[in-house]
Amino acid sequence: MKSYTSVRICVLIFSIVALVLAVVGVFMPFFTVSSSKQSTLDSIKANVLSSSFDPSKDAHMMQRFIELSSSSPPESVMTLWTLKYGGALNASAPVDLRDAYFMCYSGNMMIQTAEGMAVVTCVLGAANLILSAFTFAFSEVVKLPLALYFFLAAGAAAVTFCVMLHLYLNGWCDSVSMRSLYWDLTYGFALYVVSCTLYLTASILTMFID
C-alpha cells in the first residue's frame, strides 16, 4: 500500500512539473541568434571587400554573405508566437510569426500546428493535474483515462518541439535552415522536450497505481 501511495505522489509531482514546464515554455524563446554570427559576418564582409575577391570564383562566399546579412541580427529571439530582433533593431515591435513572418502556406500551417499543439499540451496538462489528484481517492476510475491523457500530452509536446526542430534543421518558405543562419535552440525547446519526457514517464507510472 505504501509503495502504491508513493507512485501516486510521483505521478502528481510529475504532472505538476510537466505542466509548469509546458506553460513556461510557451512564453520562452525556442531559438536565439548566436552572438558569434556577427564575427562571421564581419569576416566574410572583409573578404568580399578585399581587392583579391573574385566574384566568379567566390560566388558561394557572396551568397553566404547575402544570406547572413539579410537574416535576423545577433541576440534576436523567436518564441512560438513572435520574432523579436536584436541589436540595432531591438526597439522594433515583435513580428507575429503567422501574419508577418511565415508568409507561405506551408510555413504558416506549420507554425500554427506548433502553436496549437503547445496549447493542447497545456490544456491536457491541466486535466492531468486534476486527475492525478483524484488518484488518491478514485484510482480505479481515473487510472486508465489518466494514463491516456498523459500519453496524449506527451504526444502534443513532441509534435510541438519536432515541428520547431524541422524549422531549425530545414527552414520553411524556401529559406535556408535556421541552424545555418546561426540560430541556436534554447530554453523553450528544452522545456518541451523535458515536459514530453515527464508525461511519458508519468503515463507509465500511472499503470502501476492500484
Residue-wise pLDDT for 187-205, tens only, equals 999 999 999 999 999 999 9
84 closest CA partner among 94, 92, 99:
94
> By CB neighbour count within 10 A (0-12 exposed, 13-18 middle, 19+ buried), where does 56 fall?
exposed
pLDDT at 59: 63
- Decide if pLDDT at 56 tops 60: yes
> How many other C-beta atoms are found inside a 10 Å radius of the C-beta of residue 81?
16
Picking from 79-88, 103-112, 128-137, 153-162, which range would have the lowest pLDDT averaged per residue?
Answer: 79-88
pLDDT at 82: 92
157 closest CA partner among 197, 111, 108, 201:
197
What's the CA gap between 200 and 194, in Å, rounded? 10
What is this structure's pTM?
0.83
Cell 548566436 maps to which residue? 34
Contacts of 192 (CB under 8 A, 6+ apart): 21, 22, 25, 118, 121, 157, 160, 161
Which CATH number does the domain 2-35+76-206 belong to among 2.40.10.340, 3.50.30.30, 1.20.140.150, 1.10.10.10?
A: 1.20.140.150
- Decide if pLDDT at 61 tops 50: yes
Residue type, 21: L
pLDDT at 160: 97
Range 176-195 average pLDDT: 89
* Average pLDDT across the chain, whole number: 85
Provide the terminal-to-terminal Cα distance of the chain, rounded to the nearest Å: 8
> By CB neighbour count within 10 A (0-12 exposed, 13-18 middle, 19+ buried), where does 161 fall?
buried
Tell me how far the alpha carbon of residue 55 is from its chain's centroid.
Answer: 39
Range 81-106 average pLDDT: 82
Tell whether the torsion through CA atoms of 200, 160, 26 and 33 is positive or negative: positive
- Please state whether 173 falls in left (phi above 0), alpha (psi between -120 and 50) or beta: left
- Decide if pLDDT at 36 tops 80: no
pLDDT at 1: 46
What's the CA gap between 54 and 35, in Å, rounded? 28
Range 87-91 average pLDDT: 61
pLDDT at 52: 67
Picking from 13-27, 130-144, 146-160, which range would have the lowest pLDDT averaged per residue?
Answer: 130-144
Q: Would you list the domain boundaries of the chain?
A: 2-35+76-206, 36-73
Picking from 30-44, 50-64, 154-168, 182-196, which range would have the lowest pLDDT averaged per residue?
Answer: 50-64
Of residues 206 and 71, which shows the higher confidence score? 206
pLDDT at 121: 97
- Decide if pLDDT at 3 tops 60: no
pLDDT at 41: 64
